[in-house]
Chain A
């Protein structure tokens, strides 16, 4: 047999082997996911319209809560906005509002639609508007950004039905199909779906309020997950505290539709009269461990050793940061939660039951230590952020409030973040905006607390646009001097291909 023939055969065999080796193939379709928001987010582009869902319209028993929707328009043109409320009995005719450029616009839902307790969806032709809503009663006030996405699963890690507390969940179904809902309750030693919370029907284009406290009685902490058997909805909890246990205030919490192995809560604080705790829920059916890091601002003190939590399946763990000796007793800190890959859901609870201690005088040349807001009562809940972004809008801050609202900026990245802040205020001219624009640096892994400057018109709300080349996480702390209350919550990131949001880096 000639060498040439053997060579030909060898070439053929080599080619076949080469193809086999170089192309291993895949046994599963290439995974893909849409770039959908996991937290409420505005859209800088790609949007032809935006819809925000404001579910909770009432809270505890007794006097009614005033429901206001605050629409922040960061664009430079007036935008028509349609507000479509629904109540337990169905939809109410919608109304159009023209939201002025560069500023918040408040819609008093109760007054505009002449009916209390209305959930509402807000539609706009621009994706850049940001919508939040506020419930107000005597000594009870809170505000949170509304939801931009719906889900068939909503997590509420921290609820309280102890004495003097109410816990209600508003189920808002703005869609043309009915939704069937189960509410599973997770206690410290068990998880169950009570019969009263099973198979709840939320008719199309209506809302329904479920009193969790009536079913889960006298529990100072429990978590729930709202699962839709069919349809989709928005769920939001409201909790009131009447002071029976020393705590007074209102907590609003739009549920988390997403579990994540990594969370950041930029604006925690401790101090005299403050109780702070962190709840970590394991939604999986596996035992997992989670690591909690407390990161004091600006290196005010050495970062304490991480706290490691062992979480059984479908259970939660609570870290009482106020009582944790490793956590500095005074000052702002960010909190980072990370697991070994298993998703968790977290919530940070803050309550204030007294005035702050006098701030110690800073040493010469040393920066002043930031302390907690100077309110004497109030409750707040924050569920943190599983993402970071380079463009945030802090909506509807009462810049004239005293104590002044605070914006927390955390830089989870490993490089220095240069952030710039631009006020979104309809009353500011271009020069004033330029003058009010500032740039600061945030070290890698560090955080800063920005005090919002007074507005030209005290008592009115303004927004704050925060941008950074390096992705950051922004949280807002609002105080209500008249109600002696506070509210905390994540700012709203803008979604762009350039600035994210993107998931937080691994631990």
Chain B
């Protein structure tokens, strides 16, 4: 209801959309000054000429309505120019029929609205005003008159009309745009807002829509028209913004009522959100005044990052990608922005502060995170969509499924509660991230890995990936690490929930979700620090779903259904593999193999083509992913280190039995006999399933058995340290989830409705067994962290020393080390690895050959362990190794009860080294300090060393103990160091010898030579400042280029819109009654017209209906098959259209 505000006049008859208006006294005076009164409209001869510029491209039948509305304008000095913006069928004839006097300008190709509208610059001298119109508007008869009057009255540069809904003029669609300081715009009306005259007051606004926009010609010329690099989605805001900059105003004219059809996305394949974000960045870079740019632009950057991260968390991956792409585009387009700023500077007449009151306080962009595009709060939207879900789920046949889902979510949250904000220890694969974003990204960029004593190799993608994430999180590496560990839970759970989304069975989805989300394999992966297994678990259902759906394997998809581009589909699957492969290449391979095994299901059920498609797609995606991961694969192949790819090493840890492996009791979360319930439930569909229920359950069992068998073989051989047996058990977890889901499907398809018999009994057994199988997870959830140790070694070690200006040699079983160690020959699984400082980082979790230093360490350590030397420290000291740490469990007592003691005698061997001093530490760890450990870079001029520093270890150890030389060129690790050196200095660098290192001094490059057979030293010719740096080899650059380009190609392929099928639908839209603009139609009364909702099989209240209206549309082209229970495809309303 309209509430009358003080000073306002009553609404005219006919409502807000009527064309009679009253003015208050001030307006009347103003109008009188210009000779305007309500009694004497500006309609006659002598009024300023207006040229209406209608930009049209392949308009539907409504175009004639648009033209007619222009023809019916009461404004006498109105001429019309139609810009045919590359229509497939020329518009000349159509225009000529309705508007014989109109001029048509033909553009052979579509370069966007802005370029087309800029054709008006040619007529700018012919008329004081230009009226820009879309080809889908219908103007009220007095619209132009009102806008011109408003332009005079308010001395406005730009005047916008009141836009109302095409079908229901009682609904407002635009009364101007609100714009924040960062270029984000929002309508000033809420979606679906009724026109109750609440906006019927002319006012200054920041921007108005180009759907119907009156612009002063001279202004249009001065500001250069529309920016052509903003062809649409933001061109209105930009023009208005520059209008304000030029000192003019933008005015909203409520008396000019225009019906606007909109639905632009249905006519063009554009991604409005992406374009809008991109154009916002361009506008901010160009339009913001310099005195405000210093904070507006950085804040805009931060907002984009926040938007990207939040979108990522919310699962809006496309939006997140758009944000990042816009950021990148902003950087790339900086020169263009500078040029644009230069142009704007020429006509700037007002400071930003002068139109600051029009700027929206806050950020529409952030607001959009909590509100949907249609203005609804996301919470409300979620509530609404959930209501639909819940309505379906709480139907009589789904209550059990809903209860199960709720229970599983509750158990999951309960069991993970202490990990969300609590201690997340550094152990096994849950390594520390790194020193920071810069070091993570720097490691990728320099291609110098800080593993061992450093080596020339492009690191595994998880390193730059974590760097990017932490950068997006404003440098919070800890948060990035927490996300790295915990996000898989969310992703995998959602994946399990959506695995059978198309099949429309809430029971099956609930079963899949419950079995997969509470799989002991997952819980133990979390409880024992197995990151590889976590990510493979997270991606597995998504990968299977994508492959199987596109292959048309029932129940994931329909074999004969229309499919999108194969390459795009494979690229998407490859991206999933890249995500997994970034953490675990073996895991990615495991997923591919799993899909190949599961293709047994459709093959056996007779869908041979679907099975073949699954296999081909899986292999093809693996090939594409391998290209992205090629730097790491190449490095691994080159070093001949297969375990660097598998991440699995030999260890002596407790070997789970066959029963443990099958039930998933391979860690602290044990399931006992109850765990067999899942196995029993999974076996039931073998007995009761028919058709694809049966074949998929068989395939799932084959996968599970293969996974169990393979895992047990590895267990028996002791080859499951590092990644853990959890990694190879993920396929089994997936297989069980599928099999149990098939039990639910079988119950619905094959049991319900039949006579009581064995099938019914078995179904009951499956249900009971399933519930019993979930009980152990519920019990384990009481811990709150799935028994992940609460502490790690770092706390105790930080009491000893901090920083990273030294190295630590970690020794222990390969399964308890928090880094990837090299197995010591002849030591029965004992492994050793190096960290910088005390904290192993993500890059040290992956190893390659390690180079000569690792061979030297292995030789020295191997000798020390068997009594072959008592001078281990003398071998380690020049490497910058200040501490030797022997551990026998992943975390010290009392945090970890799991112990894998090193071989008997290991500690004794270290304790009897003459140059290692034992320091007290926590139980479970023995710490030794190396006597006279060298800095990472030192001046060894004062030492008496042979030229090669004793290349052989024997000679090195036979030499008298060497005192630690002084440090030079800084203390910490890195790839670039600076400092002052004296002439004749000899600088030793404790890194793997590599010619890529150079020391530039004032007198030129220093001579590099090998030292100790593994390191290097530089002979400084002249005194002065010196720079020691690493030059990335060309081969690494090439691999990096391959990686980036292939990744971008995959992203482009995935992001590319699927071409809409060509369709031709019968025009059943009602002709526009111009009189509607003066009155109203009843809301919701479609008068038999088939709207978009109807075609989706929904009523306008969002309810699903059984069948679309029979007369909704006749689709003559190929039409997507609507799955039972799924919303139908979005089909354009009943119009004649054939977009190119």
Chain A residues near B (Cβ < 8 Å): 1, 5-6, 8-9, 12-13, 15-16, 19-37, 41, 43, 46-51, 80, 82, 94, 121, 123-125, 127, 148-152, 174-177, 231-232, 495
Interface pair B869/A9, CB less than 8 Å apart = no
Mark the stretch among B111-119, B524-532, B712-720 that contacts chain A.
B712-720
In the complex the two chains form, is B905's CB within 8 Å of A34's CB?
Answer: yes
A35 to B694, CA, bound (A): 56
Given the contacts A5-B686, A6-B687, A177-B917, A49 and B870 also touching, CB distance less than 8 Å: yes
B958: which A residues are within 8 A, CB to CB? 49, 80, 82, 123-125
Q: Are the CB atoms of B862 and A46 closer together than 8 Å?
A: yes
A8 touches B957 (CB 8 A): no
| A48 and B683 contact, CB distance less than 8 A | no
Chain B residues near A150 (CB, 8 Å)?
A: 908, 911-912
* In the complex, the 4 A-B pairs of residues with the closest C-beta atoms, listed nearest first: A25-B657, A47-B868, A23-B658, A125-B958
Q: In the complex, A152 Cα to B875 Cα: how many Å?
A: 25
Q: Are A125 and B715 in contact (CB under 8 A)?
A: no
Determine whether the beta carbon of B709 is less than 8 Å from that of A19: yes
Question: In chain A, what residue has the closest Cβ to B757?
Answer: A1
- A149 near B912 with CB under 8 A, answer yes
Cα distance A80–B955 when bound, in Å? Answer: 10
CB distance A29 to B954 under 8 Å?
no
Contact B954 A48 (CB under 8 A): yes
Does B914 make an interface contact (CB < 8 A)? Answer: yes
One of A21, A23, A125 near B716 (C-beta < 8 A):
A23
B709 contacts which chain A residues (CB < 8 A)? 15, 19
Are A176's CB and B915's CB within 8 A?
Answer: yes
What CA separation (Å) do A49 and B957 show in the bound complex?
7
**Does B1022 sit at the interface, judged by CB under 8 A?**
no
Whether A177 contacts B657 by the Cβ 8 Å rule is no
- 4 more CB-based (< 8 A) A-B contacts, given A30-B829, A125-B958: A24-B658, A43-B866, A49-B871, A49-B957
Q: Is B654's CB within 8 Å of the partner chain A?
A: yes
Question: Which of A13, A20, A41, A43 counts the most B-chain CB atoms under 10 A from its CB?
Answer: A20
Contacts of B884 in A (CB 8 A): none
- Answer whether residue B904 sits at the interface, using C-beta atoms and an 8 A cutoff: yes
Contacts of B900 in A (CB 8 A): 29
Query: In whole angstroms, how far apart are the Cα atoms of A16 and B707 in the complex?
Result: 12
Q: Does B221 contact A (CB under 8 A)?
A: no
Contact status B712-A48, CB under 8 Å: no
Q: Which of A19, A31, A124, A232 contacts B912 (CB 8 A)?
A: A232
Please tell me if the beta carbons of B712 and A19 are within 8 angstroms of each other in the complex.
Answer: yes
A-B contacts, 5 of them at CB < 8 A, read: A29-B813, A30-B655, A30-B718, A30-B828, A32-B830
Check if B827 is an interface residue, CB within 8 A of chain A.
yes
User: Which residues on the B side are within 8 Å of A49 (C-beta)?
Assistant: 863, 868-871, 954, 957-958
Q: Is B662 an interface residue (CB 8 A)?
A: yes
Q: Which residues of A contact B862 (CB under 8 A)?
A: 46
CA A82 to CA B679, docked complex, whole Å: 67
CB distance from A385 to the nearest CB of B (A): 17
Q: Are A9 and B683 in contact (CB under 8 A)?
A: yes
A23 close to B715 (CB less than 8 A):
yes
Contact A82 B960 (CB under 8 A): yes
Q: Do A123 and B828 touch across chains, with their CB atoms under 8 A apart?
A: no
**Closest CB in chain A relative to B86 CB, distance in Å:** 61
For A51, list chain B residues within 8 Å (CB). Answer: 869-871, 914
A25: nearest chain-B partner, CB-CB? B657
Complex Cα gap A316–B716 (Å): 44
With both chains docked as a complex, state the minimum distance between the C-beta of A204 and any C-beta of chain B, in angstroms: 8
**How many A-B contacts if CB must be within 8 Å?**
183
B830 — which chain A residues lie within 8 A by C-beta?
32
Do A34 and B827 touch across chains, with their CB atoms under 8 A apart?
A: yes
Secondary structure at chain A's binding surface: helix, strand, loop or mixed?
loop
Closest A-chain residue to B868, C-beta based? A47
Give every chain A residue within 8 A of B859 (Cβ-Cβ).
Answer: 48
Contact B917 A176 (CB under 8 A): yes
Give the complex CA separation of A6 and B867 in angstroms. Answer: 62
Q: Report B73-119 residues with CB < 8 Å from chain A CB.
A: none
Q: What residue in chain B is nearest A18 (Cβ atoms)?
A: B658
Which residue of chain A has the shortest Cβ distance to B713 in the bound complex?
A: A23
Contacts of A80 on B, CB cut-off 8 Å?
958
B406 at interface, CB cutoff 8 A = no
The distance in angstroms between the C-alpha atoms of A6 and B758, with both chains bound, is 12
Residues of B690-717 whose CB lies within 8 A of A: 694, 698, 701, 705, 708-709, 712, 715-716
Nearest-CB residue, chain A, relative to B865: A34
Instruction: Assess whether B653 is in contact with A36, with CB atoms less than 8 Å apart.
Output: no
Q: Is the CB of B656 within 8 A of A48?
A: no
Q: Which residues of A contact B712 (CB under 8 A)?
A: 19, 22-23
* Shortest CB distance A103–B (Å): 20
Contact status A20-B658, CB under 8 Å: yes
Interface string of B960-986 (1 = CB under 8 A from A): 100000000000000000000000000
- In the complex, chain A residues whose CB is within 8 Å of the CB of B804: none
Tell which of A13, A22, A26 touches B654, judged by Cβ atoms closer than 8 Å: A26
Assess the B658–A25 pair: CB atoms within 8 A: yes
In the assembled complex, which residues on chain A have CB atoms less than 8 Å from the CB atom of B954? 48-49, 125
Contacts of A47 in B (CB 8 A): 863, 867-869
Q: Report whether A232 and B904 are in contact in the complex, using a CB–CB cutoff of 8 Å.
A: no
B661 CB within 8 Å of chain A: yes
- Residues in A with CB closer than 8 Å to B960 are 82, 94
Contact between chains at B953 and A9 (CB < 8 Å): no
Given contacts A27-B654, A32-B904, A46-B866, contact A1 B661 (CB under 8 A): no
Contact B905 A36 (CB under 8 A): yes
Report A-chain residues with C-beta under 8 Å of the C-beta of B716. 23
Q: In the assembly, what is the distance between CA of A33 and CA of B659, in Å?
A: 29
Q: Are A48 and B860 touching (Cβ within 8 A)?
A: yes
Asked if B653 contacts A34 (CB within 8 A), the reply is: no
Contact B705 A25 (CB under 8 A): no
Nearest-neighbor residue (CB-CB) of A257 within chain B = B908
Instruction: Given A32-B652, A51-B870, answer yes or no on A232-B911 (Cβ-Cβ < 8 Å).
Output: yes
B660 at the interface (CB under 8 A from A): yes
Whether the Cβ atoms of B658 and A22 lie closer than 8 Å is yes
CB neighbours (8 Å) of A174 from chain B are: 914
Q: How far is the CA of A36 from the CA of B866 in the complex (A)?
A: 5
- Cβ-based interface call for B906 (8 A): yes
Q: Are A1 and B758 in contact (CB under 8 A)?
A: yes
Known: A15-B705, A36-B866, A36-B867. A151 touches B915 (CB 8 A): no
Chain B residues closer than 8 Å to A82, beta-carbon distance = 958, 960
Cβ-defined contact, B658 with A176, below 8 A: no
User: Of B652, B687, B957, which contacts A30 at CB under 8 A?
Assistant: B652
Question: Chain A residues with Cβ under 8 A from B957's Cβ?
Answer: 48-49, 125
Known: A1-B687, A49-B863. A151 touches B908 (CB 8 A): yes
A35–B866 CB distance below 8 A? yes
Separation of A51 and B864 alpha carbons in the complex (Å): 11
Provide the bound-state CA to CA distance between A295 and B862, in Å: 40
Query: Chain B: which residue is nearest A23 at the CB level?
Result: B658
Residue of A with least CB distance to B660: A25
Once bound together, how far apart are the Cα atoms of A37 and B1067, in whole Å?
Answer: 96
A150 (CB) vs chain B CBs: closest residue: B912
Report whether B683 and A25 are in contact in the complex, using a CB–CB cutoff of 8 Å. Answer: no
Closest CB of chain A to B124's CB: distance in Å?
A: 80
Find the B residue at minimum CB distance from A35.
B866
| B residues in contact with A121, CB < 8 Å | 870, 914
**Chain A hits for B870, CB < 8 A:** 49, 51, 121, 123
Q: Are B931 and A12 in contact (CB under 8 A)?
A: no
In residues 555-579 of chain B, which contact A (Cβ within 8 Å)?
none
Least Cβ distance of A153 to chain B in Å?
10
Establish whether residues B867 and A19, one from each chain, have CB atoms under 8 Å apart when the complex forms.
Answer: no
Tell me whether B911 and A34 are in contact (CB under 8 A): no
Kindly state the separation between the CA atoms of A319 and B296 in the bound complex, as whole angstroms.
97
CB-based contact A48/B758 at 8 Å = no
Docked complex Cα distance between A328 and B813 (Å): 53
Question: B865: which A residues are within 8 A, CB to CB?
Answer: 34, 36
Q: Are B914 and A175 in contact (CB under 8 A)?
A: yes
Chain A min CB distance to B1041 (Å)? 44
Given contacts A13-B683, A176-B931, contact A149 B867 (CB under 8 A): yes
Would you call B658 and A19 a contact (CB within 8 A)? yes
